[in-house]
Structure 1
Amino acid sequence: MEAYAKAVLYIIPVFLLLMAIEVIYGMVVKKNTFRSFDTITGISSGITNSVKDLLGLTLVIIAYSWLYEKMALIEIKSSVLVYLICFICIDFSSYWIHRLRHHINYFWNEHVVHHSSEEFNMACALRQSISSFFGIYSVLLIPAALLGVPPKVIAIVSPIHLFLQFWYHTRHIPKLGFLEYIIVTPSQHRVHHAINPIYLDKNLAAIFCIWDRAFGTFQEELEEEPCVYGVKKAPKTWNPILINFQHLWLLIKDAWRTNSWLDKLRIWFMPLGWRPEDIKDKYPIDYIDDPKDQVKYDTEASSALHIWSWIQLVMTHLFLILMLINFGEIGFPNLFIYGAFLFIHIYAYSALMDLKKSAVLFEAIKCVGAIYWVLQSGDWFGLNGFWAAGSMVVMAYLLVSMLITMGFAIKELTASNLVAKAGA
């Protein structure tokens, strides 16, 4: 995990730089593809995913190392060849697990957050899941195991394969000529994120588009059919933690409400969108049937709240960087406490972005709990080792954060209620 923490530490500035370039380019060509709160949600989602992975909160059903030991038929001597085969095997398995997530009710819950943005930019690439509880990725790597790809090679190539999927989340790069027949391009991935009927569940490949062309899931981006981004059941929240579990909560409610015991069991493994017959009409769901009817989610937040939300995102990054730098020293179980703090912190400021009263409650839990930790331990997870006054600064920030959040809650919620009453 320490090696993964170092990798995340190094990749963060690269991702932020690429997003900054995309924003600046959009301003220059007068084609902005970013919205303030949507971008904060995307980046915050990436942080929650990184923290979850760092804490190892996914139960691996079958470890790849076990498959390798039991199933390897050959041993590849060439280091170049083994890495090439590994990359192709990972890409092949990525296609199938992606296809599974788009077609099975339960597995969609692991993926819906990635499609939840109603924009398409590099920030939405960071919308990665925290709701994948069971790791089945290794099972789909059986071809790699049969070919004798060592587990250490999988461990090296997997994050590289993931990071290479970042760049094509943009609207600014047009079709790329002959490359459209070889690799996944921005044009192809724009199709993948669209809710237009002709585009749904298409272009599922990660790096090589040959899988889509071979297995019938390829769709070209059409000039006469502009992409409309998002999901058919709009999340209607800026809270990345809530977005991660909305579909799961829907499945739980449907399983509870149906009278059929068979449906209670099979709903989890039925095709995406399937619901028991006895509850569909009784508990209807608001879907976007026609992309032209999409109304993008927004909140009546002041410019000051937008600025404060960005400040909170910067603080989140600073807290995360300390966690990554001091990962080994913090150690378990304290890393779980640190992770819980980051999750509550993100929940609090994203609830405020949604103009929810719960923002004050979660902000209070965050601040009181964190101040208690500093007072009891005398340090903020080793920060004093880097900066003698670090823990005092953290406590000062927590107090200011609590007061400002309460102030925004009073002002913004009051203004929002007045707007709602005027509209009624």
Structure 2
Amino acid sequence: MEAYANALLYAIPFFIVLVLVEIAYGYFIKNQTHNVMDTISSLSSGLTNIIKDSLGLVIIIISYPYLLEHLALFKIEATWLVYVIAFIAIDFASYWNHRLSHKINFFWNQHVIHHSSEEFNLACALRQSISNLLGYFPILLIPAALIGVPHKVIVLLAPIHLFAQFWYHTKHIGKLGVFEYIIVTPSQHRVHHAINEEYIDKNLAAIFCVWDRLFGTFQEELDDVPPVYGVLKPAHTWNPILINFQHIWRLIKDAWRTNNWLDKLRIWFMPTGWRPKDVAKKFPITTVTEPYSLKKYNTNPSRFLIWWSISQLVATTLLMLFMFYNYANIEFNNLLLYGLIVFIGIYGYTSIMDKMKFAWVIEIVFSCLGLFVLYRTGSWFGLDAYSYFGNYIVALYFVSTIFGAIYFASKQFIKKP
């Protein structure tokens, strides 16, 4: 996990810079693809994901080393050819994992966050899940285990494979000629994120589009069908933590409400969107049927709320970068505490972005918890070893957050639930 944290220390600034470049380019050509609050929500989602992943908060059903030990038919060295084979194996597994997430109710919950943005840009690429708590991906790597691909090769290539999916989340790149037949391109992925009937559940590949063409899930972007982005049951919130669990909460309620005991069990494994007939009739859920009439989520934020939200995102990102920089020196229990504090902070400021009632209380809890850590330990997780004024800056941030939360509450920048 320490190696992953060190990689994130460099990856996070790199991705943020690219997002800023895309924003600047959109402004320059007068074709902006970013909504400020949506972008903040996307980047905040990325922060929650890397907290969860860096802390290893997942239940591994079966590990790749275990499969390798018990299934390998050969023992091979890590040559360049093995790296190529391993990358293809990871991509093949990724396709089927992705397809599973789109087709099965339970697994859709771990992927819905990635599709929840009603925009399409580099920032939405960072909308990654915190609800994927079951580590079953190694099962899909059985082909690699059978031929004996070393574990260290998989560990090295997996994050590279993930990061390589970032660039094609953009509307500023058109079709790429012959590359459209080899790799996943922005045009193909725009189709994947669209809710148009022609595009739903298409283009599931991660790097090589050959899988979509081979298994019947490929769809070209059509000139006369502009993609409309989002999900058929719109999230209607900027809070990434809520988005992560909206779908499973609906499943839990449906399983509880249905009178059919078989439906209580099979709802989890039925196709995405399936509901018991008795529940669907009694508790209908509005879904998007006319994509071009979709009204995007908008809380009409004031200019001050926008800048306050940006400042919260920047501060949270800096807190995370320090966590990764000092990862090896923070005990695991303190890392969990650190992650919890940041989670509460993200939940708080994105709820204020939603103008939700009592959101200001969450921000005050977050700030008081941070100040309590400073008071009890005399340092923000060892920050004083790097900066004499660091703890004072962190304390000032928490205090200012309290005043900001009270300000928005007093101005009634809230909506009724």
TM-score of Structure 1 vs Structure 2, range by shorter chain: over 0.9
Q: Tell me the equivalent position of 1:30.
A: 30
Q: Secondary structure at the match of 1:195?
A: coil
Residue 397 of structure 1 deviates from its aligned partner by: 1.5
Report whether the alignment pairs 1:216 with 2:181: no
Matched, 1:231 2:239: no
Matches within 5 A, 1:187-206: 187-206=187-206
- 2:126 aligns to what? 126
Residue of structure 1 in register with 2:66 after alignment: 66
Residues 1:391 and 1:112: Cα distance change in structure 2 (over 3 Å): same
Q: Deviations over 1:113-171 (max 9, x none)?
A: 00000000000000000001111100000011011111111000000000000000000
The whole-number CA distance in structure 2 between the counterparts of 1:259 and 1:281 is 13
- Contact between 2:76 and 2:150, CA under 8 Å: does it hold in 1? no
Q: Is the 8 A contact 2:4 2:54 kept in 1?
A: yes
What residue number does 1:185 align with?
185
Paired with 1:316 and 1:412, the residues of 2 have a C-alpha distance of 25
Structure-1 residue corresponding to 2:328: 328
Q: Does the Cα contact within 8 Å between 1:367 and 1:399 map onto a contact in 2?
A: yes
Verify the 8 A CA contact 1:302 1:412 in the aligned structure 2: no
Whether contact under 8 Å (1:355, 1:409) holds in the other structure is no
Which residue does the alignment assign to 1:316?
A: 316
1:410 is displaced (CA, Å) by: 2.0
Using the alignment, how far apart are the partners of 2:84 and 2:390 within structure 1? 46
How many pairs are equivalent? Answer: 417
Q: Deviations over 1:253-300 (max 9, x none)?
A: 001101111111111000001101111110000100110221100102
The alpha-carbon deviation at position 79 of structure 1 amounts to 1.1
Residue 75 (structure 1) aligns with: 75
Matched residue, 1:362 = 362
Q: CA deviation at 1:78?
A: 5.7
Q: Aligned partners of 2:121 and 2:393: how far apart in 1?
A: 35
Structure 1 counterpart of 2:304: 304
Provide the identity percentage. 56
Cα shift at 1:392? 2.4
TM-score, structure 1 as length reference: 0.97
- The two structures, once aligned, show a CA RMSD in angstroms of 1.2
Q: Matches of 1:389 and 1:177 in 2, distance apart?
A: 54
79-88 vs 19-28, which moves further: 19-28
Q: AA paired with 2:311?
A: I
The reply to whether residue 57 of structure 1 matches residue 57 of structure 2 is: yes
Alignment deviations for residues 344-384 of structure 1 (CA, whole Å, 9 cap, x no partner)? 00001000000012211111111111111111111110111
Deviations 1:17-38 (A, max 9, x none): 2112211111121110000000
- For residue 268 of structure 2, what is the aligned residue in structure 1? 268
Once the two structures are superposed, residues 217-275 of structure 1 have per-residue CA deviations (whole angstroms, 9 ceiling, x without a partner) of 00000000000000000000000000000001000000110111111111100000110
Alignment of 1:155-194 (within 5 A): 155-194=155-194
Check conservation: 1:46, 1:128, Cα contact below 8 A.
yes
- Structure 1 counterpart of 2:142: 142
Contact map agreement 2:91 2:208 (CA 8 A) in 1: yes
Cα gap change, 1:78 to 1:301, in 2 (>3 Å): closer
Distance in 1 separating the partners of 2:162 and 2:412: 39
Runs of at least 5 residues in structure 1 that lack an aligned partner in the other structure: none
- Give the equivalent residue in structure 2 for 1:404: 404
Map 1:283-294 onto structure 2 (within 5 A).
Answer: 283-294=283-294
Partner AA of 2:346 in structure 1: I
**Does the 8 Å contact 1:301/1:412 carry over to 2?**
no
Q: Aligned equivalents of 2:72 and 2:274: distance in 1?
A: 39
- AA matched with 1:87: F
Distance 1:227 1:303 in 2: 30
Is the Cα contact below 8 Å between 2:364 and 2:405 reproduced in 1?
no
Alignment of 1:333-352 (within 5 A): 333-352=333-352
Q: Which residue of 2 aligns with 1:90?
A: 90
TM-score between the two structures when normalised by the length of structure 2: 0.98
**1:339 partner SS:** helix
Which residue pairs with 2:21 in the alignment? 21
- Name the SS of the counterpart of 1:269 in structure 2: coil
**The residue matched to 1:413 in structure 2 has which SS?**
coil
5+ residue gaps in structure 2?
A: none
